[in-house]
Structure 1
Amino acid sequence: MTAAARGGACADPRIAGLRTAVDRLRRDLGGHPAPLADREIADRELDALDRMTRSGDFVAAELRQSLLLIVASIGSVSALAFGVAQLRDALEMFGVSRYDRDEPYLFRQRPPVSPPVAWPPGHR
């Protein structure tokens, strides 16, 4: 049995970072006094991430989906912003990029705009 499976110290810093980020966000969310409409979604996805850290099975699409659901459900709460950012940073160590160009739901940068064409002389 590995140390990660026993819940002990983890040799992989990515897993340790993700576990720390999940625990931090779970604590912050539990201590947030205001009712949140989508708290259950965030709790469910944090549980899913916690299970992944314990099993060692990481699928980038599932990590990305969990991050998307967490950000959509609690990302606008400023009191939880640090925990959400820490989670995002931890998931980036697994190759889950917030700038993945293949995902349709991420914002894409607009192409550069060409400079305006000068009007012909004498035009009003």
Structure 2
Amino acid sequence: MLQITGIHHVAIICSDYERSKSFYTEVLGLTVLAEVFREERQSYKLDLALNGQYVIELFSFPHPPARVSRPEAAGLRHLAWQVADIDVTVQHLAAYNIAAEPIRVDEYTGKRFTFIADPDNLPIEFYEL
């Protein structure tokens, strides 16, 4: 049997590197582990951590094609972050002029959650535990 021990990271290709870097570091509060510019690809690679754990690999590429996100397209659906308090999370996002969808309740767990979009319209969920 395959012995997977966890998720290592999620890779995201952005259309505006500085805007996405600001979003993931300043708004979401991830920390930079490493940042390199790959001259041969004209591409940045930014490794981001949450609580010291590597979680996001942010890439820039010249002119990446848009990815269909909504309506529900096949493929990766969204990135979900675990939060302690959904109300505090929504207030924090509002301070950055980021509108969250109305808070919903998971019908199976009774937990509250909401969605926003990152600078490239990637759906991001915040799930209260």
Structure showing greater relative contact order (alpha-carbon pairs closer than 8 Å, 6 or more residues apart): 1
The structure whose Rg is larger is 1
* Higher share in helix: 1
User: What is the TM-score with the length of structure 1 in the denominator?
Assistant: 0.27
* Higher share in strand: 2
User: What is the TM-score with the length of structure 2 in the denominator?
Assistant: 0.27
